[in-house]
Amino acid sequence: MQQKRGYAGLDWFRIAAALLVISIHTSPLASWSDTADFVLTRVVARVAVPFFLMVTGFFVLPKLVGGAPGRRAALLSFLRKTGILYLVSVLLFVPLNLYQGEYTGARGVVLFVRDFLFNGTAYHLWYLPAVLLGVLVLYGLLTKLGWKPVLLICAALYLIGLGGDSYYGFVENVPVVGQAYAALFRVFPYTRNGLFLAPMFLALGGALREREVRSRAVCFGGLAVSFALMTAEALTLRHLGVQRHDSMYVFLLPVMLFLFSSLLLVRRDAGARGRWLRELCLYVYLVHPLCIIGVRGVAKMLHCTDLLVEQSFVHFVLVALLSFAVCWVFLWLRDRACAALRGGDTPLAGREGAPAGALPVPSPRGRAWVEVSLANLRHNYRTLRALLPEDCDILAIAKANAYGCGDARVCRALWEEGVRTFAVATLSEGVALRRQGIGGEILILGYTSPQDLPVVAAYDLSQAIPDVQYAREVQRAGVRVRAHVAIDTGMHRLGERAGSLDALLEIYATGCLDVRGTFSHLCVADCLDEDNDAYTRAQIEAFRQAVEALRAHGVQPGRLHLLNSYGMLNYPQAAWQGARPGITLYGVKSQAGETRLTPALRPVMAVRARVALVRRLETGEDAGYGRNFTAQRPTDTAIVSIGYADGIPRSLSAGEAYVLVRGQRARIIGNVCMDQLTIDVTGIEAVCPGDVVTLIGEDGGQTLAAETLAGYAGTITNELLCRMGPRLPRLYDEEEKREA
């Protein structure tokens, strides 16, 4: 199981891309062969900038597609960060501009503005205005259009760019077209800019995020073939002498598609080192021209330009070494300074937002953790779905962090299975899911303060309406929200009374409510004794009658849903158009006991922790807070690194409850502490520090079910699972397809 799969392929390729950019500006092979240098710097190295653009598209564009929540904020944040970087870079190169006597006089101002907007004020800086403009262009396009038309438009722009770049000789003298390019070049010195080049590669990166190429053979084969074709294309164009510039080729597109896809196949997590690499390579990109000047200056001073500059490969190596060294030292000093500012030698690893550098991170299975089987979740979904009629769909209950299993990952997996409606308990849960890119309908089952209704609307959430009073509040707030009306059929929690027809009619007539559904909730569907069975049947009948009465008054109640997990297992005939299973999706029942239907569900969650130490207690010795355990005989105990702060109920103290270690049962003794608990391992062979203890799940053929542990704790599995705390890392059996 992996906790999080990074993009190690992309991270590591940055080093290659940075070296390629340096090679473009130092021509390493020039003193050996012109053609070899052309192939290296004008063909191979031309993948570098498109690669950086695709990385940006891959990570940034998904946040900017039309309808994505918070897309404006995401755009502004990107523009701000990149803009600041650009301004700092421009300032960094001002001395060079002055030294070279650029931008002087009135004409100089015009040129400066032009370069600042499109071309960069130093020869390599064009990348930053290009990525800024390109992202703006795509933001505009993606507002209304899907990926296919956007890719087509970007390809058309790229085609125009080609005409002004490698293919210029062909169009230069075509009537109208040649003049159009001449006019174009009065504004942009080159077409490899934010309008004609950047959008294509940004869009390609963004589209790959939507749909990866998974086959190794296709990726590597495609890369080899398209690369050969690009080399042939470039050499031919060079031979014909038609190139005005040499940044853009037709076959650069398939080369980048297959190169990027190949890199995506390497999905280890580069961890904190990944972030550090990203920064290092970016800075190398930005400062290497200064290092070129530095190397040349030193060579001159030492009177050995013959060796250090004229030998182009030596020159390249020196510039590359100097660039990486300078940026490395800069990052190291910066992390040091940050550490000092944050208070002495406090390590920075793991602090969100802190420059973690290459510091190591805690291993996810170091102390205590939760394992989540999305495969079992998918199985449970399919199994439960099969219990329902064709026209009835599942509203997946993902409240309380999806019963402790991790709501975004759970919703994503269920989305892939076809679920399009999710339910949460609170507004912030709904907002968090949207921010992590969960689409479809998200219904808030619990209370939302009327003053937060604009948030409900902004994130396109649906709100359950608990009574007519609340409907009036919505009307007063004047915010139009999508809603499901809750009807109380006997639980007497949230919901307008099934018998209060006037109140119900007023809710549906509320102008600000866009009612999409109507539901009720069962409170004893798990109890099959005569009395409770009759109560549930009465609830179902009350719901039916209320809906009928509403319809008789011309009301459209929308989608009808009633059944929770036990409703599905015991009263599947009352399905209507939706069912809301929670605990059964996660593969367990609330407690041991009979149900009418007995589908084969598989537990989704396992909980495990490490043994910290093993200690023998002599007869009469006490252990733990309150000395709640006294050894009646020599007893081998183990301290387990998990406690009630992690979600293990304190009510498991000193009772019959047991855990599994080395495939055997070991009783919990003494009081459960905040961060530890003690078990009796007498008679279990060779228990030692670091051993894995299973609190929920399987170990060596033995199973400790959540129902069993919940029973010992005097609670139900719903509470047990949803209380598993944020301190426990969640480890999933499937790799993450997209970064949250």
Ligand X SMILES: *Cc1c(COP(=O)(O)O)cnc(C)c1O
- Give residues in contact with ligand X (CB under 6 A): 397, 399, 445, 521, 564-565, 580-583, 718
Q: Are 143 and 134 in contact (CB under 8 A)?
A: no
Q: How far is the CB of 492 from ligand X (least distance, A)?
A: 14
CB nearer ligand X, residue 360 or residue 593? 593
* Rounded Cα distance, 659 and 696, in Å: 8
Half-sphere exposure of 12 (CA within 13 A, CB side): 14
Q: How far is the CB of 455 from ligand X (least distance, A)?
A: 21
Q: Which residue is nearest to ligand X (CB)?
A: 582
CB nearer ligand X, residue 587 or residue 647? 587
* Rounded Cα distance, 606 and 731, in Å: 10
Alpha carbon distances (Å) from 482 to 117, 251, 394, 516, 657: 44, 48, 19, 7, 46
Q: Are 603 and 717 in contact (CB under 8 A)?
A: no
Q: How far is the CB of 521 from ligand X (least distance, A)?
A: 5
Six-digit token pair at 128?
């930053």
* Three-state secondary structure call for residue 616: strand
160: buried, middle or exposed (CB in 10 Å: 19+, 13-18, 0-12)? middle
- Calculate the dihedral angle through the C-alpha atoms of 467, 470, 475, 476, rounding to the nearest 10 degrees: 150
Q: How far is the CB of 579 from ligand X (least distance, A)?
A: 9
DSSP 279: H
Q: How far is the CB of 564 from ligand X (least distance, A)?
A: 4
Six-digit token pair at 508?
């549906």
CB nearer ligand X, residue 383 or residue 682? 383
Q: How far is the CB of 380 from ligand X (least distance, A)?
A: 12
Whether 625 sits among the annotated catalytic residues: the reply is yes
* Rounded Cα distance, 446 and 489, in Å: 17
Q: How far is the CB of 491 from ligand X (least distance, A)?
A: 9
Q: What are the two backbone dihedrals, phi and then psi, of residue 504, each rounded to the nearest 5 degrees?
A: -60, -45
CB nearer ligand X, residue 40 or residue 395? 395
* Three-state secondary structure call for residue 634: coil
Q: How far is the CB of 20 from ligand X (least distance, A)?
A: 54
Burial state string for 215-232 with b = 16 or more CB within 10 A and e = fewer than 16: eeeebeebbeebbeebbe
CB nearer ligand X, residue 42 or residue 559? 559
CB nearer ligand X, residue 417 or residue 636? 417
Reported as type and span, the H/E element at residue 497 is: strand 496-497
CB nearer ligand X, residue 355 or residue 582? 582
CB nearer ligand X, residue 8 or residue 445? 445
Annotated catalytic residue within 81, 300, 625, 737: 625
Residues ≥6 apart with Cβ < 8 Å to 201: 50, 53, 54, 57, 256
Annotated catalytic residue within 399, 508, 571, 732: 399
Whether 190 sits among the annotated catalytic residues: the reply is no
* Rounded Cα distance, 137 and 120, in Å: 18
The catalytic residues are 399, 625
